[in-house]
């Protein structure tokens, strides 16, 4: 907690969430002390109200870097876990079960993201996992159905899927996926 001493006494700045939830009380204190006039207080109240409405909808605010890092690492760990689960049971499952499993993963990640009550970053991470699973589904379909195609054709389909998802979502994970997949296909 940061304390600064002024002529009128000690002013305590609450850290983190305290200021976010207690801005009305602070504004009233400043108004009562004559530090803020009524017009300025009304503008501050309007602006803060809009910020809190945007935060409630999951827009208009940025995540702290530890939360963002946890989401990135969590998405990578979840994706790796899915891949390890599939790889561990690969020989024991039939081709139709493999294909159904990958299609279910694509649908599960995207549908979960659509109905998620969480922050927009969680939704973006789930959509990105669905797009990655889509690429795995393309590769698996080529293997199961013994398609005699070049691997770049599958990469082209996955890149088009990533571009389509980026066109709908316009989020950072899909920007990264497109930035990786497009030059990879062109190479």
3-state secondary structure of 33: coil
Residue ranges of the chain whose pLDDT lies below 50: 1-19
Residues 6 or more apart whose CB falls under 8 angstroms from that of 120 comprise 58, 59, 171
pTM for the structure as a whole: 0.61
* pLDDT at residue number 9: 44
Residues 6 or more apart whose CB falls under 8 angstroms from that of 171 comprise 120, 124, 127, 128
Q: What is the pLDDT of residues 91-134, one digit of tens each?
A: 888 888 888 988 998 999 999 999 987 778 888 889 999 998 89
Residue that the structure tokens 């809009």 belong to: 50
**Could you give the CA distance from residue 106 to residue 135 in angstroms, rounded to a whole number?**
9
* pLDDT at residue number 88: 81
**Could you give the CA distance from residue 106 to residue 29 in angstroms, rounded to a whole number?**
52
**Could you give the CA distance from residue 109 to residue 127 in angstroms, rounded to a whole number?**
6
Provide the token pair at 97: 């079960």
Angle, CA of 165, 166 and 169, to the nearest 5°: 85
* pLDDT at residue number 54: 65
Domain boundaries, the chain: 2-57, 65-186
């Amino acid at each position: 907690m940061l304390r600064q001493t002024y002529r009128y006494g000690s002013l305590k700045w609450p850290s983190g969430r305290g200021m976010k939830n207690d801005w009305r009380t602070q504004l009233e204190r400043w108004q009562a002390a004559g530090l803020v006039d009524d017009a300025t207080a009304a503008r501050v109240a309007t602006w803060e109200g809009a910020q809190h409405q945007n935060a409630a909808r999951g827009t208009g605010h940025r995540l702290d870097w530890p939360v963002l890092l946890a989401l990135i690492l969590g998405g990578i760990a979840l994706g790796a876990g899915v891949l390890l689960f599939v790889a561990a049971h690969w020989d024991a499952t039939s081709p139709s079960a493999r294909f159904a499993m990958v299609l279910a993963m694509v649908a599960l990640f995207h549908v979960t993201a659509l109905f998620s009550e969480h922050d927009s970053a969680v939704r973006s991470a789930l959509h990105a996992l669905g797009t990655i699973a889509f690429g795995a589904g393309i590769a698996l379909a080529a293997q199961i159905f013994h398609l005699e195609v070049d691997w770049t054709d599958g990469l082209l389909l996955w890149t088009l899927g990533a571009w389509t998802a980026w066109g709908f979502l316009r989020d950072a994970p899909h920007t990264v996926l497109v930035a990786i997949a497009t030059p990879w296909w062109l190479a």
